[in-house]
Amino acid sequence: MTLSTISVQDMHCGNCVGKIERALAGIDGINGTYFNPARRLVLVEHSGDTDPAGLLRRIEDAGFHASLSRIETGGTAQRDLLKRLGIAGLAMMQVMMFAIALYGGAFDGMAETDRLLLQFASLAFCLPVVAYSAAPFFRGALKALRQGLNMDVPIALAISSAFLVSLANTISGSGEVYYDSVVMFTFLLLTARFVDDRLKARFEDANWSLADLPERALVVGSDGMAPVGLAAIDPGTAVWVEQGNQVPLDGTITQGEATLDESTLTGESVWVHRQRGESVFAGTMNRGPGFEIVTTAGLDATRIASIAELASRAQAEKPAVARLADRIARRFVPGVLLLAAVTWLGWQLVDPSQAFVAALTVLVVSCPCALSLATPAAITAAMTRLRQQGIVLTRSDALEQMADIDAAIVDKTGTLTVHEPVLDNVTWLTDPGMPMEDLLAATGMLERHANHPLARALSQAYPDSRGIRLEQVRVIAGAGVEGWYDGRRIRVGQAEFCRAPASQEHAVFLALDDRPVARFTVTDPLRSDAAAAVDGLKHCGIAVTMVSGDAHDRCAALAAQLDIGFAARQAPETKLKITRALQAEGHRVLVLGDGINDVPALAAADVSATVLESSHLVRSKADVLLLSRRLGALVELVGISRRTRRIVRQNLAWALAYNLTAMPLAALGFMAPWVAALGMAGSSILVMSNAARLLSSSETAHEQAAAQASKLTPEALQGV
């Protein structure tokens, strides 16, 4: 099964989506097609022997311009739009001024020559607007004539008919002119489109793709370094990462140490340090001196690539609520045209002089339908916000379902705790017969040879070697480390290895000549933000259950500290049982898991979340990917999903109410065309600004300020 990403630059609306859907429907071997009009993308899941070029041809045949992926960033398109908008704006200022004079003249009387002069001047300013600024609408409408209706049809119809009637009336010197309505309508429509494009562009900025990686990396060879294209670098190649450059590929540090800004990946702006032997990920930024890595993955297998693929699948697939809005919008255009025609015919019977204005007003008042913007705008904004927080949705419905969540199941280790054990206390079992400090120092040195989290806890607890020399150090895998000191054999490791009675887990023993001497207990401390995050979830009405394989009393203490439910000594599979039990009680359950054994529970959950470090299988099953291990991200996710739902509802309610009141008013002739243009654009812009609220909140401003401060400090210090 392959996934082809096809970029269709002229896919704007639900109608286009429908047409492409039909064009692709007949092809064998297609498993699914996902559409994302916001990013102008079509994702096709097809069997390996389907030729992507054939898919392109089908889409081209349907009258679109299609190309295989490489998403266009829209820079030129946005400039073009800005120019059209600016020209329309300049012209509108003039035409509105003349219009006020003309309206005044209509009431108070005005010399015929002055009236004609003002009308011709309006015409002069209106021409570039119709010919240049409104051109995209005409082009869209012309295309629609070949392929079926879209929103550009009523727009083009309204602009052209109003302009032509005004032109005829200007030349004949009698009758109404609508230049003001034409320019204002065009300007406001372009404004709405511009705001919409801006929202999408911000989303693109917050998102990343492989395109964000540098093109080349410095490959270290026997005769120095040479830049090589990323795609040509195999796993296992030594690569040098310069200061201030991005890490080009996933790898392990082999020389030097790294100070990394991982915010592109995790959304976390605090810089992290990575030692030799630790992993670094492509796309993160090297803020410290250069270091060398050995790549562990090719370009297509990097973590950022797999996340980008999952994320683009979610963006290409439409959430249920957006599909509903699409269906309404698809019926909406023919409905508007029909209503305009009926209005015109009806007024012909009553008062023919009013027929054109009323029909025009109906066309104007309904475009471009806040209804069809209401959801996509909000969802795009929400995704942008989530992305900034290091949260990636891999399934678009997850955002909506997330809002209903009222129970969460989380791991203890690594989620609530840091998963970096530290020494808790030391118990001496017998008198060792030599200075304890020397023994502890020897323990620390021995443990430096073992590569185990518990060993790391001890070696960090006793970093000082106190001038001790150890001999014949030997690592026994799965048991411990042994060495000779002062003619005595020292062993550090698990109970059996040290001949100590087996006891609770997370204990390390020290033995001298096969006699256990000391016991070290190790704990996994709570994350600094765990309590705040749990409080946040509770505040959202979400009951948190902690599931752990650890002993009962350890879990109980932790659970009591956080005031949450817990299930201790659990086999990993029981997560599924707990999920099912909660669901049976009527809860909507969120499961956060990172292991392969969590997959059944993740699949059963209403919304499943995982972290960046989990395996590819788990990542591909989860609905939500938390790029930072912060539990706080979950709180953020719940908050954003609920706000999104609220905003979508507000938008839909407003759009429905607006259309239901404005259209009858317009049809009955209670509305001038310019009022209709204001109402139409006002409601679209209102809907989009409402959606844009998701991008910012007071807390965001605060966070950004903090992030800025933390980013600036090291550089500022360098300058001092």
Partner 1 sequence: MGILLLLIPISLLLIGVAGVAFLWAVDHGQFEELDRHGFDVLDDSPGEENE
- Binding residues for partner 1 (CB under 8 A): 75, 79, 82-83, 86-87, 90-91, 94, 111, 114, 117-118, 121, 124-125, 128, 244, 712, 715-716, 718-719
State the nearest-atom distance from the C-beta of 206 to partner 1, in Å: 14
**DSSP bridge pairs for 408:** 544, 590
Strand 607-611 relative to strand 624-626, pairing: parallel
Rounded to whole angstroms, how far apart are CA atoms 293 and 295? 6
Rounded to whole angstroms, how far apart are CA atoms 199 and 205? 10
State the nearest-atom distance from the C-beta of 224 to partner 1, in Å: 22
State the nearest-atom distance from the C-beta of 377 to partner 1, in Å: 22
Tell me whether residue 31 or residue 713 sits nearer to partner 1 (CB atom). 713
Question: Which tokens in the block code for residue 647?
Answer: 């905003």
State the nearest-atom distance from the C-beta of 496 to partner 1, in Å: 57
Tell me whether residue 244 or residue 435 sits nearer to partner 1 (CB atom). 244
**DSSP bridge pairs for 427:** 519
State the nearest-atom distance from the C-beta of 176 to partner 1, in Å: 21
Question: Which tokens in the block code for residue 25?
Answer: 């429907």
Tell me whether residue 173 or residue 352 sits nearer to partner 1 (CB atom). 173
**DSSP bridge pairs for 512:** 490, 515
Rounded to whole angstroms, how far apart are CA atoms 64 and 11? 7
Q: Kindly provide the b/e burial profile for residues 93-110, where b requires at least 16 CB atoms within 10 angstroms of the residue's own CB.
A: eebbebbebbeeeeeeee
Percent helix, strand, coil in the chain, to 5, is 55, 20, 25
- Tell me 502's DSSP state: P
Which candidate in 411, 524, 598, 606 is catalytic?
411
Tell me whether residue 121 or residue 272 sits nearer to partner 1 (CB atom). 121
Tell me whether residue 117 or residue 705 sits nearer to partner 1 (CB atom). 117
| 427-435 long-range contacts, CB within 8 A, separation 24+ | 427/518, 427/519, 427/521, 428/517, 428/518, 429/500, 429/516, 429/517, 429/518, 429/519, 430/515, 430/516, 430/517, 432/512, 432/517, 432/518, 433/512, 434/486, 434/488
* Residue 514 annotated among the catalytic residues of the structure: no
Sheet harboring 224-229: ordered strands across? Answer: 224-229, 216-221, 238-241, 291-295, 251-255, 279-280
Tell me whether residue 114 or residue 300 sits nearer to partner 1 (CB atom). 114
Tell me whether residue 19 or residue 115 sits nearer to partner 1 (CB atom). 115
Question: Which tokens in the block code for residue 301?
Answer: 């297998």
State the nearest-atom distance from the C-beta of 342 to partner 1, in Å: 40
DSSP labels, 335-383: HHHHHHHHHHHHHHHH-HHHHHHHHHHHHHHHTT-HHHHHHHHHHHHHH
State the nearest-atom distance from the C-beta of 95 to partner 1, in Å: 10
State the nearest-atom distance from the C-beta of 109 to partner 1, in Å: 12
Tell me whether residue 244 or residue 664 sits nearer to partner 1 (CB atom). 244
What amino acid positions are annotated as catalytic residues? 411
